[in-house]
Structure 1
Amino acid sequence: MSVQNSDRAIAVIGMACRFPGARDVDPYWSNLLEGAHFLDPLDEAGLAARGVPRDRRTGEGYVGVSGAVDGVEHFDSAFFGIAPAEADTMDPQHRLFLEEAVHALEDAGWAGRAAQRRVGVFCGSGENRYGRLLPEPDAAAGSHRRMSDGPAMLPLRVSYHLDLRGPSIFVNSLCSTGLTVVHLARQSLLAGNCDIALAGAVSVQLPHEHGYVAQESAVLSPEGTLHPFDRAASGTVPGSGVGVVVLRPLAAALRDGDRIHAVLHGTAVNNDGSDRQSFAAPSVAGQRDVILAALADAGVDPRAIGYVEAHGTGTPLGDPIELAALREARERLGVDTPCAIGAVKSSIGHLDTAAGMAGLIKAVLCVREGVIPATVNHRVPLPSAALEGSGLYVNTERRPWPDHEQPRYAAVSAFGVGGTNAHVVIGQHTPAPAPGDTDGDIPPQILPLSARTAEAFHDLRASLADALAAGPDRSCADVARTLQDGRMPRELRRAWVASTLSELAALLKDETDPVAAGPLEVAVDLGTAVRPDPSLANRVPALRAAVDHPDAAGRAFLLGLAGLGELAALGVRFTTLSAHGAGEYVAAAFAGALDHDVALRCAARYEAIRAVVQDGGDLSACEQHLAAVADDLREHPPTPAESALRSLSLGETVPAGCAPSVDHFLDVAQTSVMDGAQTTPSAGAADLMGALSSWEDWLALAAWCWERGADLDWTRLRGGSARTVDLPRYPFEARRHWAITGPAEAVAKPLASPAPAAGAEEDVLAVVMEIWRTVLGVPDVEPDADFFDLGGHSLVAAQIVARLRERFDVRIPLGDLLDAATPEGMAELVTELRASADLYSTLTESPGADTTGSFEL
């Protein structure tokens, strides 16, 4: 029962889903264990409340059952930077998938570090039924809608909004789409085309939460119940859902401490060709062969397969063929050991393109937890099944995995109309024991938390506190690593420093609002320098060399410079460096305004002068030091500073990009003789030298920088031994985005263009702002609002171009419009072009023309 191709094993490191009755993986698993199903008929009142017309719900063959998912009409458009108007018309399948892609990456512990990496996106969806029910767009919006309505836009949207740089591939093989994307994602990982892969599928049946019409001899169940592999099977029941998994080569996942739900050992995809009764009919040979191919690819002893999550549509034609294919595959391999069969469709419905994802996630949970849930609605096996002697049986009750002495393996099947068959083989992963917090010497950790809004932040903070209270089987280091790498850093942030989870739980009770990003200013005052604690010096090698410097002034200078350098290596970019006295030379050296050696000599002479003055010594020595500073600076004049330099000694600031004068640094040196009143650092400045006293103080400074917008290199800060653990996902803020009014069958009127302003002289800015409100769907627009901050992009800008042409008879190049970026800038463009109307009149097109080809997208 050994795995022959372990070098080809792919880890399932993240999962997310939204299925009927479950908004995430944990409730999905709980539902399966309870034997719950979500295909209950709706009564007359329920159907009426959902907008089903009376003549339809009382018509012949109408079945008031649907496997619906919650929240199809809701979406957190602001999280993804999508304009509300665009979100209103976006396919809800795309909206669901975007949110679950984020949750899957969070579950994998990669949401915070996936951006700009080679993360592939392989996904599929059903048809855009929503687009058919929308009002016809006006001429200006037509090109945008035609571009964005297509199903194939789904992976491209995910790659764009999450900034993923791997292959972005749309797949549709109908009912086998979910497993086909997994196969292609795995192949891409094995070929080295990407390092991580998102694989998933989504299907939303519309009209939503409505029933269907079961026609005689069709595949839909006339009774609204799905009986897999059962004598009573009369057809399938449609449902909606989305499932996403995150895949990574097993060796890389183990190396980096990823949480591994299961291991994907083998996959195969084929097609029946013409070896079937009709185009829509399945084939025993095709299904048998894809099972054999996946097992061969996995290198797993077929006797080790203890469970098969079958396609199981509950149709009189498909189910017998599927069982026959399984039986034949096992006969060819000489296998007759016990193997349970299950089919989740009887619980949640047939999810069309997403059906394979529902089955895969269920099978992953089965091998991970060692439990096989019952298959509901199966009572009497099909007479034609002929499973005697094969070892196959339909599992009808919840039971532990049959063999606890061997690793657990399972297989999943998905078969599509048109003959594309997919089969995958997965196996159990046994992780090493996780170290828990002890009473020993535990180094403190930074535990960051962020959200787009204060409300979402506090929801997440409370959820994290509850999770830590409920789950003691985590270490503080693992929680820190998961929060640091596993969550996308958002606009509002807070970070805590703690050594234990109990300490963190106490800190999470603080209801102080999070911090918005702002200018980063650090204060450098060498007069407050201390010898760093060994725990800090040992963790930051650059400080170790400074600690050993024999001269106190030199040690303080090198400590300050090393501290600033280490912060820069962590990813901190300071807007302003505030400094006093000798610290000003440290700041200047770090900002590139002074040569390091020159700055060190100036700082040492500054401190030497101070020592003479404090000891009441010969002031002529001070004059000699000042003269040496002047000579050094004139021989090595200052250069432009990369950051603003704020002199607390002189009360003046040298802007970034400017070179301080020689006299500036001479004046700083003069203050060492007569140390007058100094300017205090701004209230928002951090104390660099104070943070160098201990590791915990250093982490507090790094946390402070992160709260104000710095994106830290967490691995450099914490090391790489921690692991990903299960923590609460981001609480998306649901906002209704549903452009269909009334019953789903109704068609609304198209949105009108802004009405012309009254009077001969039009207020161009007012018209531009009204156009923005219309195409972006935002109620308030300021003259200096940023187009991109409101969710704008080139396709939305194309609508503005078209509307401006219709309104003002001007043709504005798309690039110029995007460069303008604000209503004021766009209004200025219009005004300039109207003043040159004769020049542009020959380029003006008719208002109703299709302008797609004229835009540089």
Structure 2
Amino acid sequence: MSVQNSNAANAAIAVIGMACRLPGARDVGRYWSNLMEGSDFLAPLDASALRAKGVPRDRYAREGHVAVSGAVDGVEDFDSSFFGIAPAEADAMDPQHRLFLEEAVHALEDAGWAGRAAGGRVGVFCGSGENRYGRLLPAPEEGAGSHRRMSDAPAMLPLRVSYHLDLRGPSVFVNTLCSTGLTAVHLARQSLLAGDCDIALAGAVSLQLPHEHGYLAGESAVLSPDGALRPFDSAANGTVPGSGVGIVVLRPLADALRDGDRVHAVLHGTAVNNDGSDRQSFAAPSVAGQRDVILAAVADAGVDPRAIGYVEAHGTGTPLGDPVELAALREARERLGVDTPCAIGAVKSSIGHLDTAAGMAGLIKAVLSVREGVIPATAHHRELLPSAGIEGSGLYVNTRLRAWPDNGQPRCAGVSALGVGGTNAHVVVGHHAAAPGPRPTDGATPEVFPVSARSADAFHELRGNLADALTAAGGTASADVARTLQDGRMPRELRRAWVAASLPEAAALLKDEAAPVTAGPLEVSLDLGSAVRPGPSLTDRIPALATAQARPDATERVFLTGYAALEELAALGVRVATLTARGAGEYLAAAHAGALDREVALRCAVRHEAVRAVVRDGGDLSACETHLAAMEDDLRAHPPTRPESALRSLSLGETVPAGSELSVDHFLDVAQSAVMDGGPGAAPSDAADLMEALASWQDWLELAARCWERGADLDWGRLRAGSAHVVALPGYPFHPRRHWAITIPDGAAAHPDPATGAKPEPEPAPVPAPAPVPAEGSQDVVAVVMDTWRSVLGEDDIAPDSDFFALGGHSLVAAQIVARLRERFGVSVSVGDLLDAETPEAMAALVREQQTSAALYSALTAPHSADSTGSFEL
């Protein structure tokens, strides 16, 4: 591309990830397939379908009712457990927020950053439509009012994403009505260029409720009376409402290329402005405002305007908006001195007008178009509107699927979004040609292929999807697939990791239906009696192993080799909960756990093995006494400290917990066991054998994989032989449940489902709140607290030791529990104390403590009668 200013390259922002859920498409791949068909995906609804959805006849039979829906599937469903959100909170949450949360995960997965984003400087810039769902819910009970008010607030959207995905960059809510999505993209790009964040999510969501009902064209002058949206057409008569969500992940291009990110396209320039008062009315568009935002974006991009061969227009199909937009495009090109051919399209003709998310649907379409070199058709366009006035400008409405015209320039497109109220946004997006270069070949070196999920069903579905994808992934490097799984997926509780040197081998392993491993404490065993001789495949990657192997003394060599291996595990991010060893290995374990100085531990190990050699060879036992005495002197001069990991002694058959006192006598007892040549214990079968893992690079990777399965947060880069790139792989298969709050007032029919209008089947009545109990009453306080949890969290499976936070609890939910406990027991427990308690059993203990204090206070402050007054001596 012809760059017109030296800053343009530095200002280039890569689109490294995308996700969407739109009418007729649950993901980006399906969206692109639909666009290739060139038709619309607005769902027609006949009278029987409307009746089945519970739409009243007086609505769909009314004059002006249009039985067309631009709906997305599954708006009532949400995988709350994946995000650790309590079911009751998910029921009340704006479904726009739920849709956006799930697609944010898919966008980060597409970018290959879902596993690396947590804790990073990742910004979130997004907006939503108004919370129509919240208006349809019944008023919350008094104790839950503040929680619901916060949950209902649209501005909670980016904050939820930042919280649940642990993103530490700016978190900004954006709303400029129909231009919200592109305005969010502009702000995200500016934040990246300013250095406020390293990566940014930008997007928008809009959900029209009631859902799948059709609409009344007479309610608005801009709604199409026949359910067809015809951008820039002579027969255009209005827009069609739709719902959807779209998100892009952005990163500076130089950083993306350095780290092997997949670049879908490049944002070269963005601009946002407002029409001000230069228009007929507040809601009317302005030619000058739209023209100027295009010119500003092109100038910001620093590209040759002739490179822009396609414009994804706002294109609402309204008689007022379309002519103004075409006039603005024409004037912008005139001022730029450009009359080369340039196609115009508008995806609203296929999916409807998505309100706040409209610009995101257009941007993702444009990114796909420049990436693939194909311009999709604009549905329903037959004849250019007479007032278009674009003759001689080079502009034309694209009405068929066509290859990108070769104009001697790299592919570049403009995208417009125009908001009611005058905020205009324009983006210039360009094709990125990957630099040619050698790629890793299969079979050269083994790789770790990790898979995790929140539930067993999701795990097996994901495992199967990946196996199918790898089977069909001809020409893809196994290193790229491994890297994408390692860095690009959020590690969850259920895990398995396989080591393979090729994709066919990995696919075969993934087809194994073995159960996943639950993350938990990791135990590593150390056997210094193993004959360890790491080969070049290990010593080249872990130089400390080569240094250890240079020691002439066998015991020192094995000890230092084990120590180097443990240090490398720590550098990988492995936190060993328990180190299990026998004999000389116990000094190594203590050294790694920080309980013994390494040199002291090494000397003890050497003397320990010397004692064993004397006993084994039938030598003079007085030599053993000499070694043991030297060990005791050394240990008393350098006494042990508290270990950071638990130490399981197989020689003594006991375990020293992490952080506990560790005496010199413990190690003297271990040393004494050398005289007996053994001990009573054996390493647990589920403990990972450190020394066996040093046999080869494959074995080392197997150990690392096992550590990850047990919950280690690995630094995957230390396990990769070279650079690897992000590739497309199946995303997380959410397993949602229905979260749609319905109430059935006493003596009244059920409220219609906000999503469909249908009246629901009666649901079981909520668990009634227990009546207040006296402090000394016989009722089980734990049972009352558990009932309160069930009601507030919406979770039936509550036990006395259930974890409040694991069930989606947080301070606002705790405040509701405090209010209910106050009502039921007449005691006041602070929110902080309640959060510290964490379980129903501990919370019940707090209640009993408050009851006891209240009873004591009442006794001390009770008025005394005259008869009860005694005499006392002065």
Which TM-score band applies after superposition, normalised by the shorter structure? over 0.9
Of 386-395 and 635-644, deviating more is 635-644
Distance of 1:736 and 1:432 partners within structure 2: 46
Shift, 1:405, TM fit: 4.1
Query: Is this contact kept in 2: 1:140–1:802, CA < 8 A?
Result: yes
Question: Which residue of structure 2 lines up, in the alignment, with residue 174 of structure 1?
Answer: 177
Question: Which residue of structure 1 lines up, in the alignment, with residue 334 of structure 2?
Answer: 331
Question: Which residue of structure 2 lines up, in the alignment, with residue 848 of structure 1?
Answer: none
Distance of 1:642 and 1:121 partners within structure 2: 38
Of 343-352 and 580-589, deviating more is 580-589
Question: Which residue of structure 2 lines up, in the alignment, with residue 721 of structure 1?
Answer: 723
Shift, 1:463, TM fit: 0.4
Q: How does 1:639-654 map to 2 (within 5 A)?
A: 639-654=641-656
Q: How does 1:569-584 map to 2 (within 5 A)?
A: 569-584=571-586
Cα 1:531–1:14 shift into 2, 3 Å: same
Of 186-195 and 661-670, deviating more is 661-670
Say whether 1:830 aligns with 2:847: yes
Distance of 1:39 and 1:367 partners within structure 2: 25
Of 491-500 and 58-67, deviating more is 58-67
Query: Is this contact kept in 2: 1:40–1:65, CA < 8 A?
Result: yes
Question: Which residue of structure 2 lines up, in the alignment, with residue 850 of structure 1?
Answer: none
Question: Which residue of structure 2 lines up, in the alignment, with residue 775 of structure 1?
Answer: 792
Question: Which residue of structure 2 lines up, in the alignment, with residue 819 of structure 1?
Answer: 836
Cα 1:836–1:527 shift into 2, 3 Å: closer
CA offsets, 1:203-255, max 9 Å, x none? 00000111111127701001110000000000000000000000000010011
Query: Is this contact kept in 1: 2:772–2:825, CA < 8 A?
Result: no
Say whether 1:103 aligns with 2:106: yes
Q: How does 1:431-830 map to 2 (within 5 A)?
A: 431-433=434-436, 435=438, 438=441, 442-718=444-720, 721-740=723-742, 741-744=751-754, 754-756=769-771, 761-830=778-847
Q: How does 1:289-308 map to 2 (within 5 A)?
A: 289-308=292-311
Query: Secondary structure at the residue paired with 1:202?
Result: strand
Say whether 1:359 aligns with 2:396: no
Cα 1:840–1:119 shift into 2, 3 Å: farther
Of 357-366 and 824-833, deviating more is 824-833
Question: Which residue of structure 2 lines up, in the alignment, with residue 43 of structure 1?
Answer: 46
Which runs of no fewer than 5 residues in structure 2 stay unpaired? 743-750, 859-874
Cα 1:840–1:210 shift into 2, 3 Å: farther
Q: Under a length normalisation based on structure 1, what TM-score does the superposition of the two structures give?
A: 0.95
Distance of 1:486 and 1:419 partners within structure 2: 39
CA offsets, 1:773-813, max 9 Å, x none? 11100112112211111111111111112222222333322
Shift, 1:618, TM fit: 3.1
Question: Which residue of structure 2 lines up, in the alignment, with residue 845 of structure 1?
Answer: none
Question: Which residue of structure 2 lines up, in the alignment, with residue 851 of structure 1?
Answer: none
Shift, 1:520, TM fit: 0.9
Distance of 1:263 and 1:145 partners within structure 2: 40
Q: Which amino acid aligns with 1:806?
A: E
Distance of 1:616 and 1:810 partners within structure 2: 74
CA offsets, 1:596-624, max 9 Å, x none? 11111111112222333333333332222
Cα 1:503–1:435 shift into 2, 3 Å: farther
Q: Which amino acid aligns with 2:132?
A: R
Query: Secondary structure at the residue paired with 2:44?
Result: coil
Question: Which residue of structure 2 lines up, in the alignment, with residue 190 of structure 1?
Answer: 193
Shift, 1:674, TM fit: 2.8
Query: Is this contact kept in 2: 1:133–1:746, CA < 8 A?
Result: no
Shift, 1:673, TM fit: 2.8
Of 399-408 and 109-118, deviating more is 399-408
Distance of 1:541 and 1:8 partners within structure 2: 40
Distance of 1:747 and 1:768 partners within structure 2: 33
Which of 369, 373, 391 does residue 370 from structure 1 map onto?
Answer: 373
Distance of 2:102 and 2:329 partners within structure 1: 36
Query: Is this contact kept in 2: 1:810–1:840, CA < 8 A?
Result: no
Query: Is this contact kept in 1: 2:54–2:758, CA < 8 A?
Result: no
Question: Which residue of structure 1 lines up, in the alignment, with residue 865 of structure 2?
Answer: none
Query: Secondary structure at the residue paired with 2:68?
Result: coil
Distance of 1:247 and 1:639 partners within structure 2: 48
Shift, 1:705, TM fit: 0.7
Aligned residues: 840
Query: Is this contact kept in 1: 2:773–2:825, CA < 8 A?
Result: no
Q: Which amino acid aligns with 1:2?
A: S
CA offsets, 1:525-582, max 9 Å, x none? 1110311011101101221211111221111010011111111111111111111121
Q: Which amino acid aligns with 2:658?
A: A
Shift, 1:37, TM fit: 1.3
CA offsets, 1:399-427, max 9 Å, x none? 00001743110010000000000000000
Q: Under a length normalisation based on structure 2, what TM-score does the superposition of the two structures give?
A: 0.94
Distance of 2:607 and 2:845 partners within structure 1: 57
Give the aligned CA root-mean-square deviation in angstroms: 1.9
Cα 1:622–1:829 shift into 2, 3 Å: closer
Query: Is this contact kept in 2: 1:775–1:799, CA < 8 A?
Result: yes
Cα 1:668–1:762 shift into 2, 3 Å: closer
Query: Is this contact kept in 2: 1:122–1:199, CA < 8 A?
Result: yes
Q: Percent identity of the aligned residues?
A: 76
CA offsets, 1:377-402, max 9 Å, x none? 00000100011100000000000000
Say whether 1:203 aligns with 2:206: yes
Question: Which residue of structure 1 lines up, in the alignment, with residue 232 of structure 2?
Answer: 229
CA offsets, 1:425-446, max 9 Å, x none? 000011134755646x611111
Q: How does 1:104-253 map to 2 (within 5 A)?
A: 104-215=107-218, 218-253=221-256
Question: Which residue of structure 2 lines up, in the alignment, with residue 399 of structure 1?
Answer: 402
Cα 1:595–1:74 shift into 2, 3 Å: same
Distance of 2:273 and 2:536 partners within structure 1: 62
Q: Which amino acid aligns with 1:742?
A: P
Distance of 1:57 and 1:458 partners within structure 2: 43
Q: Which amino acid aligns with 1:212?
A: Y
Question: Which residue of structure 2 lines up, in the alignment, with residue 855 of structure 1?
Answer: none
Query: Secondary structure at the residue paired with 1:457?
Result: helix
Of 731-740 and 338-347, deviating more is 731-740
Query: Is this contact kept in 1: 2:162–2:168, CA < 8 A?
Result: yes
Distance of 1:468 and 1:207 partners within structure 2: 41
Query: Is this contact kept in 2: 1:134–1:747, CA < 8 A?
Result: no
Shift, 1:716, TM fit: 1.9
CA offsets, 1:428-467, max 9 Å, x none? 011134755646x611111100001111011001000111
Distance of 1:654 and 1:734 partners within structure 2: 44
Query: Secondary structure at the residue paired with 1:11?
Result: strand
Of 647-656 and 459-468, deviating more is 647-656
Of 662-671 and 378-387, deviating more is 662-671
Which runs of no fewer than 5 residues in structure 1 stay unpaired? 842-857
Shift, 1:77, TM fit: 0.2
Q: Which amino acid aligns with 1:21?
A: G
Question: Which residue of structure 2 lines up, in the alignment, with residue 2 of structure 1?
Answer: 2
Distance of 1:747 and 1:297 partners within structure 2: 53
Query: Secondary structure at the residue paired with 1:788?
Result: coil
Query: Is this contact kept in 1: 2:375–2:402, CA < 8 A?
Result: yes
Of 241-250 and 750-759, deviating more is 750-759
Say whether 1:255 aligns with 2:258: yes
Shift, 1:720, TM fit: 5.6
Of 753-762 and 603-612, deviating more is 753-762
Query: Is this contact kept in 2: 1:200–1:242, CA < 8 A?
Result: yes
Shift, 1:51, TM fit: 1.8
Shift, 1:24, TM fit: 0.3
Cα 1:435–1:69 shift into 2, 3 Å: farther
Distance of 1:831 and 1:612 partners within structure 2: 64
